[in-house]
Chains A and B, each alone.
Chain A
Amino acid sequence: MNNSKLKWNILYATVLIVLVAEVCFFLWLTNAFK
């Protein structure tokens, strides 16, 4: 895999990881303020 493609893949993965982290945070908030 060339360098540029790897960088893009890392960026795409980061977007998805951030989404998962946000959902986890929201899940925690939902339970904390039930």
Chain B
Amino acid sequence: MTKLDWIVLTLTLAGIICYGLYKSKHSKDLDGYFLGNRNMPWWLVVLSIMGTQASAITFLSAPGQAYTDGMRFVQYYFGLPIAMVVISIVFVPIFRRVKVYTAYEYLEQRFDMKTRTLTAFLFLVSRGLSTGISIYAPSIIISSLLGWNIYLTNMVMGGLLIIYTVSGGAKAVAYTQQLQFLIIMAGMFIAGYMVVHLLPQGVGFKEALETSGNLGKMNIITSGISDKGFNWNDKYNMWSGVIGGFFLALSYFGTDQSQVGRYLTAKSNRESRLGLLANGFIKVPMQFGILLVGVLVFAFYQYRSQPIFFNQTRVMQAKETAAKPMLENLEAQFRDAMENQQVYQVNIIKAKTVAGAEKMIAVYNDSLKSGAAAMQRLKKQYTEVLNTALPGGEKSDTNYIFLYFVTNNLPKGLVGLLIAVIILAAWGSIAAALNSLASCTVVDIHKNIFRKDCSEAKSYRLSWQYTLGWGLFSIFVAMFATNMGSLIEAVNILGSLFYGVILGVFLVAFMWKKIQGTAIFWAAVTSQFIIIAFHLLQNSRMYHGIKFEFLWYNPAGVILVFFFCFMFSLFLKKKQDLVAA
């Protein structure tokens, strides 16, 4: 980074902090964000919903995901608009009618305290772990830019975030989310524009899509069906996206306190619903745009030289070991293959201007595909050598692709702005997550266990202590996030392990009036145990059955909860009948 970038980065971050702190001191409009005053208009609801969800991972990892796996990740969001409609119709009126502060409070009214504590606990575990992964994302940027050790960076970044959050940062974020979100969107749009602008002459937006499409990156819609039938182990396809994505979004927006807390603070039912529906309108095109940036970056690197491994700090560290000659040999082979690819690409552009050159283009395309496969093999080999030389640390480079592109190709000043954008997104979502973790711990766990009415001052102190506690827990988790591959996937896998069961509990509460506390509690415990056990089993070497990708855990969790509810209620009814007899 140049001096100008550092200036832009510092000014953007300092400007946002000062603006947020100033607004939070001089205005009372948004106290509802924290106090449950319920006075937020719908447009602020949608901005805080989106700001809470869009973390640094969204902007750092999603373009890398599209670069390596293509656009098909967008299908994962197809269930979201449907979920927004269902939440608006079913969840919002119930939550608002019973006037709860957290979603789990409703479960105590409907079932009993133990069910409320269990679901709150499951939320805290899943959100606490994914906040840890979210802390790791901005650490990647800082450690790449400054060459710091990733563990040390986690501690420094996490520490700063805790100080920022407990000293009123979460409140400042609430006031600046609108401005932040606009800067973030503008930043991503500029990045997309710049990629196209930097493409060689004769290659425009359409040609870039053709280049990426040729090599399978425009796989936006996939069916998941092959000759052998439907592949349950296919990560993203139309069906896992619509069905699994629907259940995941229903659970995340309908039962995760970090989101429920956002729309419960809206002025009225109407404002909550409008906020959620606006999110349903915006989310799919927004994610499509972010993934498209990744695909354009892929096209860009078909004409320009790309490194074999995007995490350059790791490459430099590995070259200090005995693996250096082997790595350099593979790099040379990769360079040769890349130069051949560039020749084919240029030839295709030229051939397209000639009439009747379709056959020639088809030959070049075949050569391109086999060249890409050869490069992939070299990359795999290189990564293996690299990871053998450096056993610890992050094994994949997916999360570094966009960062590498930004720091190496964008004009001075813009690099600083984009880095600021990613850090801002991290602050927004982590501050909001720590805030919801602390408030849920105080309201659903602490006050329930100690059953004491806290004074306002004590509640404030408690929430401060729990924010600190959850912050430290998140830093601890961030230390283990190095081997998780694509972070955007890791966060969603983690959520899917717990969300199906939490959602199942809420759906039973809404739809099955006969079910009481004990049956639902044990149904949730059993289902959660089965989901986690199955996940561990199918990732072990012992398992040889059909593999299910993580999005299917969400509907599976719901079905299991309903099934066990039925079983336990039968058992409990029999027991009651025996006692009565």
Chain A bound to chain B: yes
> Which of A's residues lie within 8 Å of B, judged by CB?
8, 11-12, 15-16, 18-19, 22-23, 26-27, 29-30, 32-34
B221 touching A8, Cβ below 8 Å: no
Query: Given known contacts A12-B85, A15-B81, A30-B221, what 14 new A-B pairs fall within 8 Å (CB)?
Result: A12-B88, A19-B78, A19-B280, A22-B288, A23-B78, A23-B221, A26-B221, A26-B288, A32-B213, A33-B209, A33-B210, A33-B212, A33-B213, A34-B218
The listed residue with most A CB atoms (<10 A of its CB), out of B210, B219, B221, B277, is B221
B74 at the interface (CB under 8 A from A): yes
B284 at the interface (CB under 8 A from A): yes
Q: Which residues of B contact A27 (CB under 8 A)?
A: 220-221
B84 at the interface (CB under 8 A from A): yes
Q: Which residues of B contact A12 (CB under 8 A)?
A: 85, 88-89, 277
Q: Whole-angstrom distance between the alpha carbons of A9 and B81 in the complex?
A: 14
Q: Which 9 A-B pairs have the closest CB atoms?
A: A33-B213, A33-B218, A26-B220, A19-B81, A30-B220, A30-B221, A12-B85, A15-B280, A27-B221
Q: Nearest chain A CB to B250's CB is how many angstroms away?
A: 14
Q: Whole-angstrom distance between the alpha carbons of A6 and B212 in the complex?
A: 44
Q: List 14 A-B contacts (CB under 8 A).
A: A15-B281, A19-B82, A19-B284, A23-B221, A26-B220, A26-B288, A29-B209, A29-B218, A30-B221, A32-B213, A33-B210, A33-B214, A33-B218, A34-B213
> Which of B's residues lie within 8 Å of A, judged by CB?
74, 78, 81-82, 84-85, 88-89, 209-210, 212-214, 218-221, 238, 273, 277, 280-281, 284-285, 288
Q: Which residues of A contact B285 (CB under 8 A)?
A: 22
Q: Whole-angstrom distance between the alpha carbons of A18 and B81 in the complex?
A: 9
Nearest B residue (CB) for A34: B213
Q: Nearest chain B CB to A31's CB is how many angstroms away?
A: 9
B277 touching A11, Cβ below 8 Å: yes
B84 touching A15, Cβ below 8 Å: yes
Q: Which residues of B contact A23 (CB under 8 A)?
A: 78, 221, 238
A30 touches which of B88, B214, B219, B277 (Cβ 8 Å): B219
A16 touching B220, Cβ below 8 Å: no
Q: Which residues of A contact B88 (CB under 8 A)?
A: 12
Number of cross-chain contacts by CB at 8 Å? 50
A16 touching B82, Cβ below 8 Å: yes
Q: Nearest chain A CB to B544's CB is how many angstroms away?
A: 33
Nearest B residue (CB) for A29: B220
Nearest B residue (CB) for A19: B81
Q: Which residues of B contact A32 (CB under 8 A)?
A: 213
Q: Which residues of B contact A33 (CB under 8 A)?
A: 209-210, 212-214, 218
Q: Which residues of B contact A26 (CB under 8 A)?
A: 74, 220-221, 288
A15 touching B277, Cβ below 8 Å: yes
A18 touching B281, Cβ below 8 Å: yes
Q: Whole-angstrom distance between the alpha carbons of A29 and B288 in the complex?
A: 12
Q: Which residues of A contact B280 (CB under 8 A)?
A: 15, 19
Q: Which residues of A contact B238 (CB under 8 A)?
A: 23
Q: Whole-angstrom distance between the alpha carbons of A18 and B282 in the complex?
A: 10
Q: Whole-angstrom distance between the alpha carbons of A16 and B78 in the complex?
A: 10
Q: Nearest chain A CB to B178's CB is how many angstroms away?
A: 22
Q: Whole-angstrom distance between the alpha carbons of A27 and B285 in the complex?
A: 14
A15 touches which of B74, B85, B219, B221 (Cβ 8 Å): B85
Decide yes or no: A16 and B221 within 8 Å by CB, A8-B273, A22-B284 being known contacts.
no
B218 touching A16, Cβ below 8 Å: no
Q: Whole-angstrom distance between the alpha carbons of A15 and B278 in the complex?
A: 9
Nearest B residue (CB) for A22: B284
Q: Whole-angstrom distance between the alpha carbons of A21 and B305 in the complex?
A: 38
Nearest A residue (CB) for B219: A30
Q: Whole-angstrom distance between the alpha carbons of A22 and B233 in the complex?
A: 25
Q: Whole-angstrom distance between the alpha carbons of A33 and B212 in the complex?
A: 8
Q: Whole-angstrom distance between the alpha carbons of A15 and B284 in the complex?
A: 11
Q: Nearest chain A CB to B576's CB is how many angstroms away?
A: 41
Q: Whole-angstrom distance between the alpha carbons of A27 and B210 in the complex?
A: 15
Q: Which residues of A contact B288 (CB under 8 A)?
A: 22, 26
B284 touching A30, Cβ below 8 Å: no
Q: Whole-angstrom distance between the alpha carbons of A26 and B284 in the complex?
A: 11
Q: Which residues of B contact A30 (CB under 8 A)?
A: 218-221
Q: Nearest chain B CB to A30's CB is how many angstroms away?
A: 5
Q: Nearest chain B CB to A12's CB is how many angstroms away?
A: 5
Q: Whole-angstrom distance between the alpha carbons of A17 and B320 in the complex?
A: 57
Q: Nearest chain A CB to B211's CB is how many angstroms away?
A: 9
Q: Whole-angstrom distance between the alpha carbons of A15 and B212 in the complex?
A: 30
Q: Whole-angstrom distance between the alpha carbons of A1 and B500 in the complex?
A: 34
Q: Which residues of A contact B284 (CB under 8 A)?
A: 19, 22
Q: Whole-angstrom distance between the alpha carbons of A27 and B218 in the complex?
A: 10
A16 touching B85, Cβ below 8 Å: yes
Q: Whole-angstrom distance between the alpha carbons of A12 and B278 in the complex?
A: 11
Nearest B residue (CB) for A27: B221
